[in-house]
Amino acid sequence: MSGPTVLVLLTIALPLVIAGAALLLRDNARRPRLLPLAAGAHLALTLALLILFPTTPDPSSPSALGLDPPGAIVLLLVSVLFFFAAIYGVGYLRARHDRDNRLFVACTLAVLALLTLVATARHVGLAWVAVESTTLAGAPLIYFNRNPRSLEATWRYLVVGSIGIALALLGSFFLGYAALAPAADLGAHAVGAHDLGPAHASLLYDDLLARADTLSIPWLEASMVLLVIGYGTKMGLAPMHTWKPDAYGESPGMVGAIFAGGTASGAFLVLLRSLQVADRAGAGAFAHDALIALGLASMAVAAAFAWREPDLKRLLAWSSVEHMGLLAIGLGLGGAALFGALLHLVMNGLTKGVLFLAAANIHRAYGTSLVSADTATHLGSAASPGSPAPPGPRRLITGAIRRLPVSGTLLLLGFLAAIGSPPFGPFVSELWLLRAAFADHVAVGIAMVVLLFAVFIGMGRTILAATQGAPPPPPDLPRGPIAEASAPPEPFKDTWLTAGPIAALMALVLVLGVALPAPLARLVAAASTWLQGAP
Amino acid sequence: MSGSLFSSLLVVVMLLNFYCIGASRLRALIRAVSLQGVVLGLMPLLVHGSATADLPVLHVVVSLVTALIKGVVIPQLLLRALRALPIKREVEPLIGTVPSLVLAALATALAIVFGQRLAPASTPGAALVVATALATVLSGFLLLVTRLKAVTQIVGYLVLENGVFVFGMLLVEAIPFFVELGILLDLVVGIFVMGILIHHIHRDFPTGQREDPS
């Protein structure tokens, strides 16, 4: 086994081992400390992997596990995001000490390990297994609050996600058959391709890329349709996004950050790799058009629903649908837009970390994630998780900047970043995307600008209502989810553990927007050229 | 692949799709999907046509595991859920049985056309495999979206997943382990049933309301 493979295996195994330790550890108060331990070690291993070894796979020695440039970008993003989310998790789970966090900690670490596998799997089947297991490992995270609403969200996430996963498997089968079918056409008996040599039965992306011109075009096209739908469901592209608002709205903010920045990026990566094979074979045209259409649909749906979304966390879910739409459009446009899309993957992942974690703090402090009382059409998220809604008038989020100066400000800044205002990171990546769109598809570019603006207005209303103004009077504040009803709970405040990681992520988003560091720019450029590489 | 017994099994799978969609009693539905699972389990043994001399061990394993999980374990779990929970015995379709059957017939016709056009001409059995696979996937999808109860939705998912497995028969000789990945989908089904048993989920909350406290 070569050096990089060993290091990749170690990066996958380490969080899994610590997840096992989390299952065995009995101390509920100390268990969350395993999170930063594992995530820190993961970040160190990831950096070592990126620095020590070249990220371009060697076509002469294909392997099922290894780094390629887009995989390296996703791995870096996931690792950084988990690192800060893990530090935050210690503070968060301290505030929720009344709740057993054994499964939560273990599953969070399992998701980290499996996302690492997604990022490094250079095999069609292995990538599918990784995405499938990420889905299952994520379910207990959504159900952390153990109330009827989170059960419903988990059920919907599993049902919709599993349909996507099943279609992605069928798409992967089609891809496999695209590699076998021509062999059968050459007159081999039945589909007996087993005597045609291992290369024909290989599902390594390297092998598929190398012999792209021998793949069956119709099967490849059919396979791309299924893969776009299947992995698009995992990304949360409209109209397969229906699980997203519930799952993000009902789960802890930390889970929203991990899902919106991590698992969604993983599904995007698998789609990216499949499309690379289809493009190389000249069978990607339909998939490109479909991705642009789904991307625009996602942005439109996000704009329409963000407009009347009274719940802060569900609003962020719509923002995630919007940004997955942008990524899909970037992938669909291809060419120069790929650079923008890969850059946006990083910017969006980090910004979502800021938004979801800041929103989680505000949710803690107010005992609700509702910003306006207009809830008739929604499942209702008025009550705080884990405790019955306290009596009295319904509490709403107002004046978050005065109530929680750090988290409130970070939410506002994160919102400004997410809508693509300078000087933050997403501004740069969205500019690249728009530039590429206006270069070849002016209509798509115009639609993107209009929809970006519509989401900005729709989200802005709610975010400004939440952050500005005066907070509700203090006696109403402390009641709620913070502690058991028996002890009079102290009001939730920003601490180093709960606000520090968010501030660090925000600083990162700012720095990346002001001056893109040369190594990252090189990595993104390398990924973009590698993906478009000539056969 | 072109063995006549194998082709007959494919036809049985398609007929069972129609039976599932037409079924009005939950028990009949579960029995039908269980039978479909057993039929699926026989397929890897016959994929060679008539050749039985050099049957790879892996095919026997795939066959046994499939028949056991799809034909016995999951249906038994579903029946247990049915006994344990106060679920009404009727299917409660969102759209009536006759329109459902018409839709299923349309889907099957579409699948057959698709199979004819896409399957390579040199492998005679492939067109029928593709048609059966797609017809089964579409039937499962139809059950999933038009039935309200959680139990029926799981059966729908199982049928969908059976369709994926049927397509796997085209690959099972060349890349057997790849087809085995489908077992992970059975794991998902198992988790669904557990969810129903533990959390008493009756239906997919179509109105956003849960009916029972838990």
Nearest to B181 among A125, A185, A194 (CB): A125
The predicted structure's pLDDT at residue A186: 47
- How far off is chain A from B123, nearest CA to CA, in Å? 5
Ranking A260-264, A278-282, A336-340, A392-396 by mean pLDDT, the lowest is: A392-396
Say which residues have a Cβ less than 8 Å from residue A22's Cβ, sequence separation at least 6. A31, A34, A102, A105, A106, A109
Nearest to A191 among B123, B144, B184 (CB): B123
Is B191 in contact with A203 (Cβ distance < 8 A)?
no
Is A170 in contact with B192 (Cβ distance < 8 A)?
no
pLDDT band at residue A202 using 50, 70 and 90 as cut-offs: confident
The predicted structure's pLDDT at residue A191: 42
Q: How far apart are CA A444 and CA A148, in angstroms?
A: 41
Peptide bond into A471 cis (omega under 30): no
**Closest listed residue to residue B107, CA positions, set B144, B74, B70:** B144
**Percentage, residues of chain A above pLDDT 70:** 89
Per-window interface: B 123-142 vs A, CB < 8 A:
123, 125-126, 133, 137, 141
Average pLDDT, integer, range A296-307: 94
Domain positions in chain A:
145-387+398-481+497-532
Say which residues have a Cβ less than 8 Å from residue A340's Cβ, sequence separation at least 6. A330, A429, A430, A431, A432, A433, A435, A436
Q: Enumerate the residues of chain A whose CB falls inside 8 A of the CB of residue B208.
A: 152, 378-379
Is residue B86's pLDDT more than 50?
A: yes
Is A155 in contact with B204 (Cβ distance < 8 A)?
yes
Q: Enumerate the residues of chain B whose CB falls inside 8 A of the CB of residue A200.
A: 174
Is A159 in contact with B171 (Cβ distance < 8 A)?
no
pLDDT digits (tens, 9 = 90+) for A488-511: 456 788 888 889 999 999 999 999
Residue showing tokens 């968060």: A92
Peptide bond into A239 cis (omega under 30): yes
Average pLDDT, integer, range A210-238: 92
Is B174 in contact with A133 (Cβ distance < 8 A)?
no
The predicted structure's pLDDT at residue A518: 92
Helices A69-95 and A496-514 meet at what angle, rounded to 10?
Answer: 150
Length of chain B: 214
Longest dimension (CA), chain B: 58
Report if pTM > 0.80. yes
Is B122 in contact with A132 (Cβ distance < 8 A)?
no
The pair phi, psi for residue B189, each rounded to 5°, is -60, -45
In chain B the first and final C-alpha atoms are separated, in Å, by 50
**Closest listed residue to residue B169, CA positions, set B16, B15, B8, B46:** B46
Say which residues have a Cβ less than 8 Å from residue A84's Cβ, sequence separation at least 6. A353, A357, A501, A502, A504, A505
Give the residue from B170, B172, B180, B196 with the most A CB atoms within 10 Å of its CB, the best one to mutate. B170
Nearest to A203 among B173, B175, B214 (CB): B175
Is B204 in contact with A132 (Cβ distance < 8 A)?
no
Residue A501 vs residues A55, A262, A507, B69, B201: alpha-carbon distances, Å: 28, 17, 10, 46, 38
- SS3 call for A341: helix
For residue A409, the 8-state DSSP code is H
Q: Judging by beta carbons within 10 Å of its beta carbon (0-12, 13-18, 19+), is residue A442 exposed, middle or buried?
A: exposed
Q: Judging by beta carbons within 10 Å of its beta carbon (0-12, 13-18, 19+), is residue B49 exposed, middle or buried?
A: middle
For residue A404, the 8-state DSSP code is S
pLDDT band at residue B203 using 50, 70 and 90 as cut-offs: low
pLDDT digits (tens, 9 = 90+) for A363-421: 988 888 888 765 434 444 444 444 444 444 567 888 888 889 999 999 999 999 999 98
Question: For residues B77 and B67, is the Cβ–Cβ distance under 8 A?
Answer: no
Q: How far apart are CA B31 and CA A268, in angstroms?
A: 39
Question: For residues A361 and A481, is the Cβ–Cβ distance under 8 A?
Answer: no
**Closest listed residue to residue A437, CA positions, set A319, A300, A332:** A332
Nearest to B174 among A136, A186, A191 (CB): A191
- How far off is chain A from B31, nearest CA to CA, in Å? 22
Is B171 in contact with A184 (Cβ distance < 8 A)?
no
**Closest listed residue to residue B142, CA positions, set B22, B7, B10:** B22
Residue B99 at interface with chain A, using a CB cutoff of 8 Å: no
Q: How far apart are CA A366 and CA A80, in angstroms?
A: 29
Average pLDDT of chain B to the nearest whole number: 83
Q: Judging by beta carbons within 10 Å of its beta carbon (0-12, 13-18, 19+), is residue A369 exposed, middle or buried?
A: buried
- How far off is chain A from B25, nearest CA to CA, in Å? 23
Is B185 in contact with A185 (Cβ distance < 8 A)?
no
Is B188 in contact with A177 (Cβ distance < 8 A)?
no
The predicted structure's pLDDT at residue A183: 58
Q: Enumerate the residues of chain B whose CB falls inside 8 A of the CB of residue A169.
A: 164, 181-182, 185
Question: For residues B195 and B77, is the Cβ–Cβ distance under 8 A?
Answer: no
Say which residues have a Cβ less than 8 Å from residue A73's Cβ, sequence separation at least 6. A342, A345, A346, A523, A524, A527
In terms of CA atoms, which chain A residue is nearest residue B214?
A148
For residue A473, the 8-state DSSP code is P
**Cα four-point dihedral sign A166, A296, A340, A425:** negative
Residue A295 vs residues A3, A259, A363, A480: alpha-carbon distances, Å: 39, 19, 30, 39
Average pLDDT of chain A to the nearest whole number: 87
Nearest to A148 among B175, B187, B210 (CB): B210
- How far off is chain A from B43, nearest CA to CA, in Å? 15
In A368-468, where do the E strands start and end? none
Average pLDDT, integer, range A334-347: 94
Is residue A206's pLDDT more than 60?
A: yes
The pair phi, psi for residue A487, each rounded to 5°, is -85, 140
- How far off is chain A from B119, nearest CA to CA, in Å? 8
For residue A66, the 8-state DSSP code is -
The predicted structure's pLDDT at residue B194: 77
- How far off is chain A from B214, nearest CA to CA, in Å? 7
pLDDT band at residue B62 using 50, 70 and 90 as cut-offs: confident
DSSP B73-142: IHHHHHHHHHHHTT--SB--BSS-HHHHHHHHHHHHHHHHHHHHHHS-TT-TTHHHHHHHHHHHHHHHHH
- Which helix (H) or strand (E) segment holds residue A100: the answer is none
Q: Enumerate the residues of chain A whose CB falls inside 8 A of the CB of residue B48.
A: 190
